[in-house]
Structure 1
């Protein structure tokens, strides 16, 4: 496998780096060090370009591969969503027929527990959920459960984290990447 192919594969295995390349905010040298791809015997076979030799300078070759890959990626666009966010306190286990979220044998219903649900309704999808979960992780808000379906997105957190979670969900939905990215 060529160094360019290995670089692309390594970037795809680190979605934060993929998004950073698309957004144009990556320090290529630091990214090359992070990926630590090194050289491989096949990397020098048939190399006839102005790019650095992998054998002589593996880090510079990875930097060049990252630059070329970034040029090929679609631009990162953030269009946000038009979702309404609300908070539902007191979620707990209950009857699946009344649940806001059911996964496997767990059905979370209002009025019976110590959890808080942050519900976003409107223009939401799996991309929005992924973005919300990333924001919650960055805010150090632990998520107990999460799901998206139709025009609803729900994240469930401990009761005390409810207010922080609402703010993080609202911020995330304002900057959700355009669908299809």
Structure 2
């Protein structure tokens, strides 16, 4: 494989480098040195930097789109083992008020805990969730559970991080990176 092809693969293995290249925010020499050390590229950093510059020209520009969604906070939820908790089933009367906010495998987000769920409904998708998780991590907000399906996105955080998480998710939905991620 050529050094240019190896460099492209190394960038794809580190999506933040790809995003920075797309946004035009990269010091190519520094990125080349970093990739040479961490991605074990066998080549001169100047040649790697040249490959990065050429790769940048082939990438679509970094763009973000606003999403229309309503963001709310629901206190008093918890993440439980769905197999061991009776609250994870559908209510017998057809209501969905008591249904879990989120269920993945054997885990479910249900009422009755000491955490807070951030719920966004509307124009949401996996890209919005990925962006929200990145931004919550950057804000030092630990996420206990998260998921997206249909027009709903859920992130479960500690009660004390609830208000901050709402602001982060609202800001995220104002600028979700485009589909060319």
Matched, 1:95 2:95: no
| Superposition map of 1:11-90 within 5 A | 11-36=11-36, 40=42, 54=43, 58-90=44-76
- Structure 1 Cα separation of the partners of residues 40 and 172 of structure 2: 36
For 1:173, the equivalent position in structure 2 comes to 173
Structure 2 gap segments, 5+ residues each: 81-86, 91-98
For 1:163, the equivalent position in structure 2 comes to 163
Distance 1:69 1:5, change over 3 A: same
Deviations 1:48-83 (A, max 9, x none): xxxxxx5xxx01100000000010001111112111
Q: State the 4+ residue runs in structure 1 displaced beyond 2 angstroms.
A: 37-40, 178-181
Contact kept in structure 1, 2:120 and 2:154, CA below 8 Å: yes
For 1:45, the equivalent position in structure 2 comes to none
Q: Which has the higher strand share?
A: 2
Contact kept in structure 2, 1:96 and 1:108, CA below 8 Å: no
Q: Secondary structure at the match of 1:76?
A: coil
Matched, 1:137 2:109: no
- Structure 1 Cα separation of the partners of residues 109 and 146 of structure 2: 11
How many residues end up aligned between the 2 structures?
A: 164
Contact kept in structure 2, 1:96 and 1:102, CA below 8 Å: no
- Structure 2 Cα separation of the partners of residues 9 and 179 of structure 1: 19
- Structure 2 Cα separation of the partners of residues 79 and 88 of structure 1: 26
- Structure 1 Cα separation of the partners of residues 179 and 54 of structure 2: 24
- Structure 1 Cα separation of the partners of residues 101 and 179 of structure 2: 25
Q: Over the residues paired in the alignment, what is the CA RMSD in angstroms?
A: 1.4
Contact kept in structure 1, 2:122 and 2:152, CA below 8 Å: yes
For 1:105, the equivalent position in structure 2 comes to 106
Structure 1 gap segments, 5+ residues each: 41-53
